[in-house]
Structure 1
């Protein structure tokens, strides 16, 4: 609706309400004053002008209340205060005291109508007093009093009229500014939605981090890469960052988010990620500075490019080069050997020896090239080594401490002596991260997660117990099935893929260990990981 049309409808509604509001007040005032006159000076009811004015005001009041003034033009409603002015003039003709009632119609007219209507009302008031002057019923003193009242009412009306016009102009201006503000807000919201859509459409993983290390926003590529459920960035990520392929997991203060919060600025730095589905991803990390808000809060933008496909292709190329180089080296060695035999033969004529020398030099150059190709290839696995399972668990607890604090979940460490085991430390860190992440994720606010270790002469044991939502007995038997999620998790709208526990059991079994789960629905879950001690495996001579 336009401002002008709104102003017109608003004025019509205001005038319609004013008809019965003002008229009701005036009618009640006249009725009360009439009752007082009936007690104090009843002979006034014998005056025809007085009785006529009194009945006329009552009749106008009843008519004003009964009519629907919104169906009539605004000028029709003007007849009501003008008739009131004439009726009050009849009352004032009988007694001067009733002349003060003119302030009601005058104020009414000045509020909603212009100066001509005000002058007309004052003219009607004076006209009702003409018979009194004509008959000589007015003295000089009463005439002067009446003129003072009329002049005062004129000044009052003009003052009210000016104030009302200013008020209307201000309301009109505020309404126009409000509509402009609404349109501006709608444009900002629409632009925000377009920006969010563009942010999510970017294929590069992007995230905003504040100076406290909190993720403020992340696009779809980043959430998918780090396995965040939906738009919720408060849940712990089940993906873990590494500095090197098959290396040790980054400490909590060396992760990309922690470095961004600490003020580090890097460009295209290689980083590795072990995602929730058990896949390695080669990432190119860049961290750029940014002002988060107009208040000057500092923060950073994390930009991650997934180079896994290109790195995988390079690795395959190196593997193929290694295989080809290896196959070429054997025949080249044979060529060099026979060339040496020919050169050692004294019966060989000089021309043949020259050809044999050329063959030998070319074969040696090719062998050098092949050895260079073989030297550029790297082994894809590393040998097992001893590591402390307790230290891995403590590091994982430290990594998930901010997430637990954000959910108001208390994490208790009950670590005993060191737990030396043999195997692949980074893979066992994946197991521990997954179990602690699940415990925090499925524990409501105010709950507790206890991470404890124990050992015997032959085994090392890690136990993670929580006071979370628990798992039903029917679902517990399928907890390690791929893509299976317990009913309590789906009912609680907690995100997940259903792959983590199966991957964890596979890693533990490759370490000749076992993983067990006990749970009570609504009370909590306990996961126990049991591994052979390092000395036990060495004694048995097991090959990892």
Structure 2
């Protein structure tokens, strides 16, 4: 019997392997793509990692899962290597998850050539490189920090040497500056002691930190009898009337401590024959936006004040002497005109012209006397300001009609005030007359008034020719007339507003103005309310 030989069969494996389970359960991601990057298969690990369904990934493009920069790198570097060498290793790329978040990874791939009807396939292995990327970043950061520390050490050493040299140079410059400062201080003190103006520099608390010999002499003039030194509150300083002691809050140094800057404050130092007038000007010193003290200058204006007073007395005396002959002339002219029917017509005309001119001259003399007298003749009493305003508007109506000016009233039926009705009536007449006079081509003049409890106000606003800013500063000066009024030949001598201001201030009131060329002027007067 012939034995039959049989082919040996391979031994059965000891363990059955589920390769698909191994494929999907691998800790690394696996992607199988066609040559153009179309995904043919992907394992569950990769799909879960980027947060996309496996079914959605199959048929999509691997390139679509990469950011633009990595997509270019894969197309220009990885694919050519697969075509030529059929593999590449550890290409660092980022994948985009479903939310667009970048997921760092390292990929390696091999290409299985086409066989029969099966196309070429690229098998891509994906490793999660998040921890490695962090480690690399930390390492780079540590290296850079070490480089910076070394650079900082070298820089610090160089800085120390440089600063030592700078300190030596600064010490030299400081010594030179100190010597120059002492020289300038001596020069400044010499200059200050040379000028004929008293100068004091005070700090923010009013303490004198610099003064000149002239100012020290002025201070001694104001010392109380028997005193060798005193603070400002104890000095004999008086107001413009020479007899009223200046209140502490109005004294120059106290005003500067309050941060005020001012010009031409008139004060009198001392008493008796030694009393002198000073014009005080102060300017605050600002440093880094804060008040650091003030510079105060005291100019002796005794001669100027006495000259102005003498001029006032002269004007008043001359005006008083002119009034008597003018009154006599006007009386005789009135007597002559009573016989108008018995004298020739041309003589009567000449007499009337002389009488009108005499009346104008007498009015000018009266204004001069009023300006010189000031507010001394004021007699205040309870009055109705509304009545005074209505009366003034009635008087101004004919002139307003000639100038084609519309008068508008804006005040209550009654407005009590504690004033001298005759003098305040003169104020209203002056302001209203000016408003009409300086609106020669028509317009509107509005008279308004109101009460604020402890005071009453009235205002005269016109739409006339207005004034420049420079003219507004001079408007209350005697005999001042604006250039526009002179060019327009508007009559006047420049005393009305001076008299008005004197009367208002005699009532312890104030008068202010606001004007704009071509737009008009507004005068506002504040007066005490009813007592």
Tell me which interval the TM-score lies in, with the shorter structure as reference length: 0.3 to 0.5
Structure with the largest fraction of strand: 2
Per the normalisation by structure 2, the TM-score is 0.34
Structure number with greater Rg is 2
Structure with the largest fraction of helix: 1
- Structure showing greater relative contact order (alpha-carbon pairs closer than 8 Å, 6 or more residues apart): 1
Per the normalisation by structure 1, the TM-score is 0.34
